[in-house]
Amino acid sequence: MTYPRFHLAFPVTDLAAAREFYCETIGCETGRESTRWIDFNFFGHQLVAHLVPVSEHPVTSRNPVDGEQVPATHFGPILEWDEFQSLQKRLQEAGVDFVIKPQVRFAGRAGEQATMFIKDPSGNHLEFKAFRDQAMLFEKELSAYD
């Protein structure tokens, strides 16, 4: 099944730092841009960084999930298992600090997945994940995940 492309606009406090992070660290290419925003090809999706003053950048709260304090506001792609491993290696070699280190969450349960969280230079949280079985993406389980 093919899925539609996704568009997400998000705030950044420094466009040059955003360009360096998303292009050099993550591996995105740029699209259209102006002095106030940049389009990134984010794993086939349109991610648009909009410049905002530091005072207007939102603060992120956290929620407990499977023993971790997960940033309530975050975004990121669902990758194939081998793509996740390659990106994990790339981020580790670049010396990126992980907000939540790479791990397997919900091991042996419906929705088992590899996950890792990082922050961009503006403090936006990104989660990269991969399901061992993509068919389990929306699978429910009888017991709660809390």
Residues 32 and 39: beta-carbon distance below 8 Å: yes
Number of structural domains found in the chain: 1
| Contact present, 40 and 54 (Cβ < 8 Å) | no
127 within domain boundaries: yes
Is 30 among the domain residues?
yes
What domain range includes position 122? 7-136
The CATH number that applies at residue 65 is: 3.10.180.10
| pTM score of the predicted model | 0.88
Which residue's entry shows tokens 């600090």? 97
**Contacts (Cβ under 8 Å, ≥6 apart) of 73:** 58, 60, 61, 124, 125
Average pLDDT for runs of 10 along the chain of length 146: 85 97 97 97 96 88 85 92 96 96 88 93 96 82 52
Residue 56 belongs to some domain of the structure: yes
What pLDDT does 141 receive? 64
In a domain, 141, yes or no: no
pLDDT one-digit tens code per residue, 94-129: 999 999 999 998 888 878 899 999 999 999 999 999
User: 77: closest CA among 145, 137, 32?
Assistant: 137
Q: Is residue 76 part of a domain?
A: yes
Tell the residue number behind the tokens 């040059």, with chain if given: 16
Is there a domain that residue 64 lies in?
yes
